[in-house]
Amino acid sequence: MTDGVRVVALDEQGRVALVEDDFYLQGRRMVHLPGGGCEGQAPLDAATRELAEETGLASANLQMLGIIDPLPAITSARTSLVLATDLRHGQVRRDATEVGMTMQWLPLCDAVEAVVTGEISESGSVAGLLLAERRLGQRRR
């Protein structure tokens, strides 16, 4: 496994961009944050690429939220979590493995609730959403 990235892309209305795709090993569709492998790129560069590929979005403001070790007993691969704001729309460029992927917008508070209920369970998405909520909550204080 290689290092990866998950992107919490927030628009000016406080909504987060989520994608839904089929996962073979789980045998079901899963809602998660845009992201994927770093493919030798720095995390912020990979976040820019993955966000554009899966959602067609570009961000004028990328910030690291943190790094997790999702499976430390199995792999040394790490996942960087990135907050993307100041978004603008472009063209989606999904690859052949992402042909069935869809995108949706959800208020951040609803996405965090989806973590609590187990609707969103992918580790990078869980951590990214919770860290984004915490970061943004600290700004409002």
Return the active site residues. Answer: 98
Cα–Cα distance, 39 to 41 (Å, whole number): 6
Cα–Cα distance, 105 to 86 (Å, whole number): 15
Residues 6+ apart with CB under 8 A from 132: 8, 10, 16, 65, 83, 108
Query: Which is nearest to 64 in space by CA: 41, 82, 51?
Result: 82
Number of neighbours of residue 121 by Cβ within 10 angstroms: 14
